[in-house]
Structure 1
Amino acid sequence: MTSEPAAPHVWLVPTPVGNLGDITVRAVEVLRGCGAVACEDTRRTGALLTHLGISKPLVRLDAHTMHRAAQVLEQHPRLAYVSDAGTPGISDPGAELVQAAVAADVPVEVLPGATAFVPALVLSGLPNARFTFEGFLPRSGRARKERLAAIAARSETTVLYESPHRLGDTLSDLAAACGEGRAASVTRELSKRFEETRRGPLSELAIHFARGVRGEIVVVVAGREAGQTLAGEEVPDHPALARTWAGEGRSAREIRELLIAQGLRKNDAYALALQVTQTR
């Protein structure tokens, strides 16, 4: 591939999450022109390369062998890296390879291409101007509880991945943390024959998927609405707070912003701020 530099180079190449037709022309060109392909599963990647009519040396470089990244770069200086599906480095190995290449002063390119969470986010119909990508949640313990609480509290949409056999439990945990009526969606088998997106309150989704499903899964959860109280959370006494701030000599504008930060709706905060400042 004459357009690529002869010097050492690393490419992170997205591969289809389902439909093999989603491979890009540039991805095929890079896979044809590289010296070797590193991957999570040599059998799976070998089948993809055979489908594309490409023959390259394959090197296993997954979560268990990524500590060999620097050594692999020495052996194969013009290296393409693919995960089993989607973009490497996004809830898949790959970030460590980038770090090793940067440390060795080897140029790195990440090709645009397939990923699961972006289509699922758009399909959810939920606000997507701002969102947080959580990847996979911890399976248990304090770390899981803290992540669930963070999802419940944030105002922007949250996107996360989950395995089929843990989906029902995760939806139930999300319903308990966020409230049963919090809007959400579950997308599975993106770009495949049995692709499905189901939207609804977390409680209904938890019931529907309680028995588990097959396929790769993306869960999208709406953000917390202003003024929504979560389980176990004390409700602020907004009038008392407003009177206290007014007694401190704060302006109506300052009080309004403080009330909004406490979860009060904008219109209600504005009316209360005016009330307490006018009656001082």
Structure 2
Amino acid sequence: MRKIKKIHKAISAPMGDLVTYRALPTNTVEYIDPFLFLNHHGPQVYKPNNQGLPFGPHPHRGFETLTFILEGDITHQDTGGGKDVIEAGGVQWMTAGSGLIHAEVSSEKFKKEGGPLEILQLWFNLPAKYKMVKPAYVGLQKDKIPVVTEDEGKVKVNVISGSWGETKGPIPSLSDIHMASVELQEAGSFTTTVAAERNVFFYVVRGSVKVNGEKVEKLHLVEFSNEGEEIKVEAQEESYILFGHARPFNEPVVAHGPFVMNTEQEIQEAFRDYQLGKMGSWEE
């Protein structure tokens, strides 16, 4: 079995009236190469006539984002041409690459009517050879994400990138990152294997599970060692987890605000290029 190195609790990091827990980075874990950052927004209920999500236009370069919309919605727009509204159960995958400006806000309908909201955003690093790749965006509604069932239907695996058994995810990953979200009914279980040299990403969004015999509550991130390959998950109650794995890049990571590069000089260049308009100009 894959050995567990440590279990990390997400920290409270509210953004105005938006309930937010940050699982990466915290004071106990910086990143799990190439998984850099995870913000967990909600769960909470917005009243009618609200302001919605606060993520107006801002730049990015050098990494990718994967956003899970569990409840509520997100209106996405970017200077690379991406624009849509993704609803509950859907995902968004954005490759910032050489740089773009984007906004992630709530739809006019959500702002008017309100309702429950829970959204998670995960950042993946890009290796040096892909840092300046052309930006790209894919938005998928729930019905476009393949589902694999395990344990007589008690486990549903939503396959996003890479593969789960014979099922391939619909989003191609430049860096062979495998990502899924897993919904488990109480007492549901699954077992999978991940090659020892690959790093595992495992975050419990809701509920409580046992992972290789250790109990892990919601809002906790599991850091595995690179010993062993088998991972067994058993739900103690109805649960929802994010699960992924990737080969580590083992490259220097220099992050500053919205940019993630390999050197300080590249960060300075990113700020300069943004100021010069090389990441596009924002139009409402």
Per the normalisation by structure 2, the TM-score is 0.30
Of Structure 1 and Structure 2, the greater helix share is in 1
Larger radius of gyration: 1
Of Structure 1 and Structure 2, the greater strand share is in 2
